Amino acid sequence: MLLGRYAAAVLPQADAAERRLLARLLEQPDPQLAGYFLGGEAPPEPEMAALVTRITTSGMIGSP
């Protein structure tokens, strides 16, 4: 899972709003997620774009 390490590290201390935002992100179609994480595209929602930035700059994307 592309986001497995990030989720494992962040979800235990994430508040409800952060969990809902991550859940909404994961509801996006795979091609859209690939665009966000591999193609340099940004989500149109500022909160979602900020989450994608946090994830991509965390160094925790990819296989463990």
Domains: count for the chain: 1
In this prediction the pTM is: 0.84
Query: Is 31 contained in some domain?
Result: yes
Query: Is 8 contained in some domain?
Result: yes
Do residues 55 and 3 touch, judged by C-beta distance below 8 A? Answer: yes
Owning domain of residue 23:
4-57
Query: Is 50 contained in some domain?
Result: yes
Per-residue pLDDT of the chain (64 residues; tens, 9 = 90+): 568 888 888 889 999 999 999 999 989 999 999 999 988 899 999 999 999 999 988 877 765 5
Alpha-carbon torsion angle 63, 4, 8, 40, nearest 10: 100
Residue showing tokens 């994480």: 37
Query: Is 64 contained in some domain?
Result: no
Query: Is 62 contained in some domain?
Result: no
Query: Is 63 contained in some domain?
Result: no
Residues with Cβ within 8 Å of 1's Cβ and at least 6 positions away in sequence, in order, are 7
